[in-house]
Amino acid sequence: KAGVTQTPRYLIKTRGQQVTLSCSPISGHRSVSWYQQTPGQGLQFLFEYFSETQRNKGNFPGRFSGRQFSNSRSEMNVSTLELGDSALYLCASSLVGNRNTQYFGPGTRLTVL
């Protein structure tokens, strides 16, 4: 069974631009969560989607948004990029009945110049 895939793997943007990251969960997983990883901050929860609905949201500004499609694939968007948005963005999927165990993708490394 294929794992969680994220595209692109690396991205370089400049301040003020916007970016869209994509995540394809493991087949059969309908819950998708997004995290931001920065040095010293660990993984910070962004949001969780299930059945195309946002189920949970972390403490991030409205510039960060996401959505989920009917095939469970998810995208996250960051508008008006800031230097501090440079981070590794991780997507994780899980089975509905076992949200405790999340399977992570390799992440998208975003660099904002």
Partner 1 sequence: DQQVKQNSPSLSVQEGRISILNCDYTNSMFDYFLWYKKYPAEGPTFLISISSIKDKNEDGRFTVFLNKSAKHLSLHIVPSQPGDSAVYFCAARGVNTGKLIFGQGTTLQVKP
For 77, list phi and psi in degrees, rounded to 5.
-125, 140
Torsion of CA 11, 84, 18, 110, to 10 degrees: 10
Residue 112 CA to residue 14 CA, distance in Å, equals 5
Instruction: Give min distance, CB of 71 to partner 1, in A.
Output: 21
Instruction: Give min distance, CB of 44 to partner 1, in A.
Output: 7
Binding mask 24-63 for partner 1 (x = CB under 8 A): ---------x-x----xxxxxx--x------xx-x-----
95 sits near partner 1 (criterion: CB under 8 A): no
Number of Cα atoms under 13 Å in the Cβ half of residue 65: 7
By CB under 8 A, name the binding residues for partner 1.
Answer: 4, 33, 35, 40-45, 48, 55-56, 58, 90, 92, 99-107
